[in-house]
């Protein structure tokens, strides 16, 4: 479930905790252990163990038979992975890549634009947008996707009506604007829903970050004759880079694992196999195909890819803070 | 995209605090106008869902679409709450039942994770014990694990234990992503209560337990509220886990319990015409608690509580 | 109300080699105002917290009212504490803050209200009863903290540097109020401060601590006039005592060319110890500038003035006097109306009878 999960905690003001004032043994030594063990147990069982278990399963042949009977699982080494690589891995990855570039890019750009506008606008306009953004943020992904499906309904949808009213329909060269007949438009639509729901968090966070940039910097730049684009390049973006990087990483992680929106859209049209991105793929292989070993392999591949991407970005962030 | 996270919480609080920025330039009108236009665009889908929930079906299936209802009706809501659900071909449990299931799951998840993480955050924030550092790292790492990745192994685990397709199973599954975040956040809140105040309570006649209950707890109340809401929203909004672990009517395992998100998902079915009006009416009801909660947190977080008690 | 006793009380933090408080033996009489004073790191706060039950006692005993409380939790000790940071409950009003300890004790509602009002009246907190701590000024919060302690009518008051966060003027004023309050209520009080002026003005007796070890516990006057070692001598009194290590030949001490005779008892003690050097201590008011023609026969040191501090009521003259191996820096008290100027060469007379002599290695006082 890609969206409704907590992001990384590191962020402005959320730095690593300092050592607490040492408890001078006024309570028994066992107290902290007693307090934290329920959580640790739960975490080990529900996060730690599944991760390891997933890795193990990915090397096994684990299908519907094993699920129902609890029968023996056969160790097949890298076979699951091989099958994936010779199978759908490349197309799915490519599709996911384009999807990611689109969604993460759009989210960051739009979010930044909104934040910058918020900075300059009147307070009441700012409040209006904030309320709207919070309301949008609250909408569940399923519901958002369903609303967009209706908006883009081929016959009764507002989108088509708007396009024809603006005489733009012909430019899109889609026959009767059948959004759901073409994989690219389905994915674009899914991307739009994702971006729609993702922008609020990014915009609000970036706005908070912008507030921390002293006004004097912009004033000095204006005195030096810099236009708004220059100011953006030399002041805003460099100073916001840590936050932008963090938001970028978070967005990549979430959007990579997008499932809900795409699943809802796939439910409408029938071209599932061409619109599957990574988050959906694991589900398809595992549950639809009843091949849990392969599904686990897909999951592990995803985790690996994310680690690589995140690792590079985190290293950049850490290096940035060291200068 | 996420529902809420520690940074988002800060961001929303900052946006809400905006009016108290001391040195303000004049707002620029073009920017404000642009902001209004953007607000309108962004709000449109919600607006559209809102009005379509109140349109009679004839008006919904109407071209050109009405941007403002010509007629208002509550029929969609009535339809949504009918016992035998929507659609002629697929009998399904009622929306009301699914709402109930969602609520039960979400509330238990909140209660359980709050209780457990409160103790853990106390341990981490107030005590220096061996393994504390490792625990903090583990919490960080756990938060970075994408929730979706755990689906398959958790599913298999629960199946082995025979818990699949039961509500307790779903509750257990939701605790996984919730716990690291809540422990981390509550830890921050507990740590921000000065130790002096706790000691003052001790010398004023409290035992450690009553010091916790009467002094620390009230002071971390905002943290408890925020993390409860976060946990609730995660459990309430989720679809994939609810579908796989609890299921829906008519799948292989033959369950008849489902959460509201699964119920809503199932309304769009390629085998029949989607009852849009009913869908949006139900979606509106589904979205309402979350939206209300979001608006609550936004204002609450801008207030501080410990200011002034300890001279700094 | 009761007495308080430390018996060989020691507190060593786990992992530390030296104890924070080392075998402290101290008795605070019933109704006494005892001040624990010392530089930071001296263990005074730790000692206070041991009394409160907030620090562990590694060895030794703590007694309150002749009852051993060493292992008891704070709530069982019947003490009230005022913290340096005040530690008011932010989520409670002033009235509720004051009532909190009474509520814990199970005091009935009407009596609670009455006691809260009494304390509020005593500390002029009545108009503030409904406010929250964050709406109060520093001085007001300090009074609420005191009120919370008073309400309890405990066996002892413990105060941990309660004035250090107030501005200077408020500090002096509040100091007087605390002193008056203690006299009026007659509660045994243990008070911690790093400010020796506070210690001297507030305490019936003052205990000077250094590195966890009790140096001397005496009335302020005796501390001032008979410091038992170099540390106490230099710590108590402002400006600090002039302390210099000087050669001793058996009868006199040489300050450069000048021979300064020592008080009889000190001299014989130094002789008996076979010392060739002693530490001579002279308070600034034992030195006073005189005109050259004054032929009192007093011992005189001369030197060049390098700093004059005129505080309005007092004046202090810093001068350099030749000595060996290096010139000595002395501070002398001068009449504010006849101040020398910087660079002037003056003579100061020495009141030898007020000299303090200390052993250069052990730092202990020589003589009586």
Could you give phi then psi for residue A74, rounded to 5 degrees? -95, 135
- Give A92's contacts (C-beta < 8 A, 6+ positions apart): A276, A277, A278, A281
| Residue A200, min C-alpha distance to chain B (Å) | 9
**Residue B307 pLDDT:** 27
- Give C261's contacts (C-beta < 8 A, 6+ positions apart): C251, C252, C253, C267, C299, C352
Highest mean pLDDT among A281-285, C114-118, C258-262: C114-118
Cβ–Cβ gap C13/A24 under 8 Å: yes
| Mean pLDDT calculated for residue range C229-247 | 91
Residue C272, pLDDT > 80, answer yes
- For chain B, percent of residues with pLDDT exceeding 70: 80
pLDDT single digits (tens) B195-237? 899 999 999 988 888 888 899 899 888 888 888 888 898 899 9
Q: CA–CA separation, A227 vs B16, rounded Å?
A: 29
Q: Which helix (H) or strand (E) holds C246?
A: strand C242-247
CB contact C76 to A (< 8 Å): no
CB contact C23 to A (< 8 Å): no
Chain C residues with CB under 8 Å of B202 CB are 53-54, 73-75
Among C350, C56, C334, C51, which Cα is nearest to C190's? C51
| Mean pLDDT calculated for residue range B56-77 | 80
**Residue B73 pLDDT:** 83
Of the pLDDT bands very low, low, confident and very high (cuts 50, 70, 90), residue B255 is low
**Residue B158 pLDDT:** 83
Residue C361, pLDDT > 80, answer yes
**Residue B24 pLDDT:** 53
Of the pLDDT bands very low, low, confident and very high (cuts 50, 70, 90), residue B299 is low
| Mean pLDDT calculated for residue range C98-111 | 90
Among B175, B54, B161, B37, which Cα is nearest to B110's? B175
Residue B160, pLDDT > 70, answer yes
Cβ–Cβ gap B120/A117 under 8 Å: no
Q: Which residue of chain C has the CA closest to A23?
A: C55
The CATH code for residues B95-261 is: 1.10.3720.10
**Residue C143 pLDDT:** 92
**Residue A323 pLDDT:** 45
Chain A / chain B CB contacts < 8 angstroms: 398
CB contact B192 to C (< 8 Å): no
Residue B14, pLDDT > 60, answer no
Q: CA–CA separation, A117 vs B33, rounded Å?
A: 10
- For chain C, percent of residues with pLDDT exceeding 70: 98
Domain ranges of chain B: 95-261
Domains and CATH numbers, chain C: 4-234 (3.40.50.300), 239-358 (2.40.50.140)
How does the average pLDDT of chain B come out, rounded?
78
How does the average pLDDT of chain A come out, rounded?
79
CB contact B130 to A (< 8 Å): no
Give yes or no for a cis peptide into C325 (omega within 30° of 0). yes
SS3 state of residue A258: coil
Residue C313, pLDDT > 50, answer yes
**Residue B83 pLDDT:** 62
**Stretch 51-90 of chain A: residues touching chain B, C-beta under 8 Å:** 51, 53-54, 57, 62, 67, 70
Residues of chain A with pLDDT under 70: 1-27, 68, 70-71, 168-178, 269-272, 317-323
Residue C209: HSE in the Cβ half-sphere, 13 Å Cα cutoff: 32
**Residue A4 pLDDT:** 43
**Residue A201 pLDDT:** 86
Cβ–Cβ gap B205/C138 under 8 Å: no
CB contact B296 to A (< 8 Å): no
**Residue B6 pLDDT:** 47
Are C346 and C302 within 8 A, CB to CB? yes
Q: What is the ipTM of this complex?
A: 0.78
Mean pLDDT is lowest, of A197-211, C283-297, C335-349, for: C283-297
């Amino acid at each position: 479930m890609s969206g409704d999960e907590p992001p990384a905690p590191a962020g402005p003001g959320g730095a690593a905790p300092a050592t607490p004032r040492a408890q001078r043994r006024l309570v028994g030594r066992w107290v902290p252990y007693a307090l934290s063990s329920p959580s640790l147990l739960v975490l080990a069982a529900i996060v730690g163990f599944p991760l390891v278990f997933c890795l193990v399963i990915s090397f096994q042949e684990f299908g519907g038979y094993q699920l129902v009977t609890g029968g023996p699982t056969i160790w097949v080494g890298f076979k699951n992975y091989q099958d994936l690589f010779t199978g759908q891995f490349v197309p799915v990855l490519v599709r996911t890549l384009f999807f990611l570039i689109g969604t993460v890019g759009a989210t960051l750009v739009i979010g930044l634009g909104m934040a910058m506008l918020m900075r300059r606008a009147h307070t009441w306009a700012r409040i209006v947008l904030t309320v709207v953004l919070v309301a949008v943020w609250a909408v569940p992904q399923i519901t958002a996707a369903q609303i967009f499906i209706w908006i883009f309904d081929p016959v009764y949808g507002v989108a088509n009506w708007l396009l024809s009213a603006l005489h733009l329909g012909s430019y899109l060269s889609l026959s009767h604007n059948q959004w759901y007949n073409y994989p690219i438009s389905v994915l674009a639509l899914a991307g739009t829903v994702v971006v729609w729901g993702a922008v609020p968090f990014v915009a609000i966070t970036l706005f908070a970050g912008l507030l921390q940039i002293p006004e004097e910097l912009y004033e000095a730049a204006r005195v030096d004759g810099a236009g708004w684009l220059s100011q953006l390049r030399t002041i805003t973006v460099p100073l916001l880079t840590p936050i932008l990087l963090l938001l970028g990483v978070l967005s990549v992680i979430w959007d990579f694992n997008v499932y809900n929106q795409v699943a809802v859209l796939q439910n409408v049209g029938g071209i599932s196999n061409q619109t599957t991105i990574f988050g959906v793929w694991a589900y398809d292989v595992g549950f639809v195909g009843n091949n849990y070993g392969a599904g686990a392999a897909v999951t592990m591949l995803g985790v690996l890819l994310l680690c690589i991407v995140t690792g590079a970005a985190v290293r950049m962030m850490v290096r940035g803070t060291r200068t | 995209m996420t529902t809420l996270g520690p940074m988002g919480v800060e961001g929303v609080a900052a946006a809400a605090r905006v009016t108290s920025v001391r040195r303000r330039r004049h707002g620029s009108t073009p920017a404000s106008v642009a902001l209004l236009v953007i607000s309108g665009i962004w709000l449109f889908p919600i607006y559209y869902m809102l009005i379509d929930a109140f349109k009679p079906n004839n008006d919904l299936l109407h071209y050109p679409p009405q941007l403002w209802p010509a007629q208002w009706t509550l029929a969609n809501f009535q339809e949504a709450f009918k016992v035998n659900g929507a659609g002629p071909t697929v009998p399904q449990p009622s929306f009301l039942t699914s709402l109930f299931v969602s609520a039960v799951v979400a509330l238990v998840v909140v209660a359980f994770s709050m209780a457990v993480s409160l103790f853990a955050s106390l341990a981490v924030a107030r005590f220096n014990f061996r393994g504390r550092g490792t625990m903090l790292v583990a919490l960080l790492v756990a938060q970075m694990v994408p929730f979706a990745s755990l689906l398959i192994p958790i599913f298999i685990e629960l199946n082995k234990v025979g818990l699949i397709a039961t509500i307790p199973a779903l509750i257990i599954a939701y605790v996984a992503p919730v716990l690291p975040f809540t422990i981390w956040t509550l830890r921050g809140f507990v740590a921000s209560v000065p130790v002096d105040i706790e000691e003052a309570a001790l010398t004023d006649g409290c035992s450690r337990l009553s010091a916790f209950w009467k002094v620390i707890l009230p002071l971390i109340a905002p943290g408890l509220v925020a993390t409860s809401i976060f946990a609730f929203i995660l459990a309430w909004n989720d679809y994939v886990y609810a579908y796989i672990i609890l299921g829906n009517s008519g799948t292989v395992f033959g369950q008849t319990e489902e959460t509201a998100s699964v119920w809503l998902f199932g309304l769009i079915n390629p085998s029949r015409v989607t009852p849009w009006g009913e869908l949006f009416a139900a979606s509106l009801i589904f979205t309402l608690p979350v939206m209300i909660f979001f608006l609550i947190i936004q204002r609450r977080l801008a207030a501080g509580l410990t200011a002034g008690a300890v001279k700094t | 109300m009761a007495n308080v006793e430390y018996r060989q009380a020691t507190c060593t933090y786990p992992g530390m080699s030296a104890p924070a408080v080392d075998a402290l033996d101290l008795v605070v009489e019933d109704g006494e105002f005892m001040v624990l004073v010392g530089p930071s790191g001296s263990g005074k706060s730790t000692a206070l917290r041991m009394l409160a039950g907030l620090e562990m006692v590694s060895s030794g005993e703590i007694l309150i009212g002749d009852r051993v409380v060493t292992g008891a939790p704070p709530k069982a000790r019947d003490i009230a504490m005022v913290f340096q940071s005040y530690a008011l409950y932010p989520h409670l009003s002033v009235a509720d803050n004051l009532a909190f300890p009474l509520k814990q004790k199970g005091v009935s509602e009407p009596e609670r209200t009455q006691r809260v009002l009494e304390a509020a009246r005593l500390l002029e907190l009545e108009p503030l009863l409904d406010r929250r701590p964050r709406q109060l000024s520093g001085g007001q919060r300090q009074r609420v903290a005191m009120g919370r302690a008073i309400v309890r009518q405990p066996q002892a008051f413990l105060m941990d540097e309660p004035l250090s966060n107030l501005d200077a003027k408020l500090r002096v004023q509040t100091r007087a109020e605390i002193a008056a309050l203690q006299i009026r209520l007659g509660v045994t009080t243990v008070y911690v401060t790093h400010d020796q002026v506070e210690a001297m003005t507030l305490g019936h007796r003052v205990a000077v601590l250094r590195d966890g070890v009790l140096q001397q516990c005496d009335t302020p006057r005796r501390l001032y006039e008979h410091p038992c070692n170099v540390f106490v001598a230099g710590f108590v009194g402002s400006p600090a005592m002039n302390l210099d290590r000087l050669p001793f030949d058996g009868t006199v001490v040489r300050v450069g060319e000048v021979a300064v005779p020592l008080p009889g008892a000190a001299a014989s003690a130094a002789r008996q110890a076979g010392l060739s050097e002693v530490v001579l201590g002279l308070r600034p008011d034992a030195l006073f500038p005189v005109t050259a023609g004054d032929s009192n026969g007093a011992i005189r040191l001369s030197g060049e003035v390098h700093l004059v501090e005129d505080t309005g009521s007092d004046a202090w003259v810093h001068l350099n006097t030749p000595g060996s191996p290096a010139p000595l820096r002395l501070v002398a008290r001068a009449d504010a109306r006849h101040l020398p100027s910087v660079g002037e060469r003056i003579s100061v007379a020495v009141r030898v009878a007020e000299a303090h002599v200390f052993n250069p290695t052990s730092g202990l006082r020589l003589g009586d």
